[in-house]
Chains A and B, each alone.
Chain A
Amino acid sequence: MKRRISRFCMYFFLTLGAVIMLFPFFWMFSSAFKTTQEINKFPPQWLPGHLSLDNFRRAFAMAPFAKYFFNSVFVMVCSVGLTTFTTILAAFAFSRLRFPGRKLIFSLLLSLMMIPFEMLIITNYSTIVDLGLWDTLTALILPFTSSIFYTYILKGFFDSVSDSLYWSARIDGSSNWRYLWKVMVPMARPSLTTIILLNALASWNSFMWPMYVISSDKNRTLPWGLQVFTTEAGSYPELLMAASTVVVLPVIILFLFARKYIVRGVARGGLKG
């Protein structure tokens, strides 16, 4: 009996906590479908009277959210592609190839990880201006093509692959390049999935850097475009919530399918911060 009560309490508190954690999302989605009258009611109305995509249509008409969406996807794809490429090559070099100072260089890189991006912004901003890339999508991609953290994760996996596999491939006449792409990369699929997902999320949600380097409407990505939209649509919270839904929904769907990979990466210290 006592056991059953404690089980019940456990589920009760977990459910209560889960409801609190999910509530902002529920409120966002529910408000995205409300009319202007419904959203300004007190006591608040829990659910919209009827489902219509009107708010989405109005939000997309007021600000170029389709363009923002495309920009976000474009930046994410380029950024993930480039970063994955440099990460694979560098992780392989640090894990498998021999060159003087290999260990020292890697540990120096690891200590660079503690440097916050906030400290680099001042110079990177000037660099982007000097390169003539201010207010271009390239400015959102270029500074993030190399990641020490992702290289560290992938190197960890490469290190766990046994030496004999490498040497037998070499004896069979395979080059390092071939071995990397034909043997190591397919084997590293779980680690690579984690890296790609973390990178995609970071790119999709990126807010501070675009705020510094993007000014024109046509080059904004979703989070920064959304923030600018608040000044135009501040008096229409239902439109803001519709726009926010567009930013958040793809990520939520991704998370439902790839939770395991994302959580594994986060447990190693990635994401947010």
Chain B
Amino acid sequence: MKKNKQKPDRELVDRSFLARIEPYLYLLPFFLGIAVFTLYPVVNVVLMSFKEDYSYLTREFSQWGLANYDKVLSDPKFAQAVGNTLKYVLLVVPISTLISVIVANLLNQKLRFSALFQTAYFLPMVTSVTAVGLAWKLMYNKNFGIINYILSFFGIDKIPWLENAAWSIPSLVIFGVWNILPFTIILLLSGLQNIDPQYYTAARVDGSGSLRIFLRITVPLLAPTIFLVCIVNTISCFKVFSELYPLFNGKPGPFYNLYTVVYYIRYAMMENRKYGVAAAAAIVLFGFIFVFTMIQRVVQSWMSARKR
């Protein structure tokens, strides 16, 4: 068997110069892009974060050192940005996961109009955050907004969703959950479809009710997927940025109270022109993402090891 497989290989392999460089010719256009716009920037951002007093005009710096990190970590604005980002993550991730587990489980049943339901639940995934954000802004409007109108049926007074600092996180979180739900539902749905239907048949033979099946079979078997979804969403929520723009007219919150980590990077770079500080903040962001990616890798390899 093995011999057979290798035979054509040896006979057909062309040892000419052109044949030897052929793979590299195929890779060239791809690697050109990766080298210039991914590999070089990665190295450069690390170096830049250690360059003190870097000037974006002359590209000169005074010395190597940790001053940029010191500036970032002692900047109250950055502390605020990290705090807001963490609040956002800690609210959006559990809420969206909880809703998605339920919705994915319902969508996984034999349904009439299932294409229609899927379209409805998945649509926000493909539409521009900026454009739908403007629609949300209109809905959030304190005086004319549809949300406050609907809430008035339940006797709730007009809420200053976008005007009041205390309400800016909830507004952002509701929009964020709506935005991330499709992605979360899709991942959970594909997790559900990987569950062996035999478990359900067996449970039904035993006469278990649907709630019992959901809690005793679906949730435990889906747990690894739920965990992975949480990690992936945590990483993407750490990068919250574009959602802020349409809601607050391009400002980070009504009173500049809603800086997030990525917004801080932009602020340090474009408004202050402190590239070194921006680079250090980007490295801190990467630190967060790196930790969660490693957790994901470990759990994933542990899962696939257990499967075998």
Q: Which of B277-306 contact A (CB under 8 A)?
A: 278-279, 282-283, 285-286, 289-290, 293
| CB within 8 Å: A-B pair count | 272
Q: Please state if B29 and A231 are interface contacts (CB–CB under 8 Å).
A: no
Q: Does A50 contact B (CB under 8 A)?
A: no
Q: Please state if B134 and A255 are interface contacts (CB–CB under 8 Å).
A: no
Q: Which one of A21, A122, A123, A124 lies within 8 Å of B178 (CB-CB)? A: A21
Instruction: Provide the residues of chain B in CB contact with A19, threshold 8 Å.
Output: 120
A–B pairs, 6, beta carbons within 8 Å:
A28-B132, A85-B29, A116-B289, A119-B286, A127-B37, A252-B126
Q: Please state if A121 and B134 are interface contacts (CB–CB under 8 Å).
A: no
The CA-CA distance from A102 to B22 in the complex, in Å, is 13
Q: Does A208 contact B (CB under 8 A)?
A: yes
Q: Please state if A205 and B128 are interface contacts (CB–CB under 8 Å).
A: yes
Size class of the contact patch on chain A: 35 or more
Q: Does B55 contact A (CB under 8 A)?
A: no
Q: Which of B143-161 contact A (CB under 8 A)?
A: 143-146, 149
Q: Please state if B123 and A21 are interface contacts (CB–CB under 8 Å).
A: yes
Interfacial residues, chain B to chain A (CB-CB below 8 A): 5, 8, 12, 22-24, 26-27, 29-34, 36-42, 44-45, 48, 56, 103, 106-107, 109, 111, 115-132, 134-136, 138-139, 141, 143-146, 149, 178-183, 186-187, 189-190, 210, 232, 235-236, 239, 241-242, 245-246, 249-250, 262, 265-266, 269-270, 275, 278-279, 282-283, 285-286, 289-290, 293
Residue from B30, B56, B115, B180 with most neighbouring chain A CB atoms (10 Å)? B30
Q: Please state if B42 and A120 are interface contacts (CB–CB under 8 Å).
A: yes
Q: Which one of B45, B132, B285, B293 lies within 8 Å of A24 (CB-CB)? A: B132
Q: Please state if A251 and B127 are interface contacts (CB–CB under 8 Å).
A: yes
Instruction: Provide the residues of chain A in CB contact with B109, threshold 8 Å.
Output: 10
The CA-CA distance from A182 to B295 in the complex, in Å, is 42
Instruction: Provide the residues of chain B in CB contact with A94, threshold 8 Å.
Output: 27
The CA-CA distance from A251 to B123 in the complex, in Å, is 9
Q: Does A269 contact B (CB under 8 A)?
A: yes
Q: Please state if B22 and A176 are interface contacts (CB–CB under 8 Å).
A: yes
The CA-CA distance from A151 to B126 in the complex, in Å, is 21
Give B21's nearest chain A residue, CB to CB. A99
A17-B103, A207-B128, A244-B132 known; A22-B123 Cβ under 8 A = yes
Instruction: Provide the residues of chain B in CB contact with A234, threshold 8 Å.
Output: 249
Q: Please state if A42 and B144 are interface contacts (CB–CB under 8 Å).
A: yes
Give A167's nearest chain B residue, CB to CB. B8
Q: Please state if A272 and B183 are interface contacts (CB–CB under 8 Å).
A: yes
Q: Please state if B183 and A227 are interface contacts (CB–CB under 8 Å).
A: no
Q: Please state if A241 and B134 are interface contacts (CB–CB under 8 Å).
A: yes
B-contact 0/1 string along A39-53, CB 8 Å cutoff: 111111000000000
Q: Please state if B125 and A208 are interface contacts (CB–CB under 8 Å).
A: no
The CA-CA distance from A87 to B29 in the complex, in Å, is 9
A90-B30, A251-B126, A267-B186 known; A241-B37 Cβ under 8 A = no
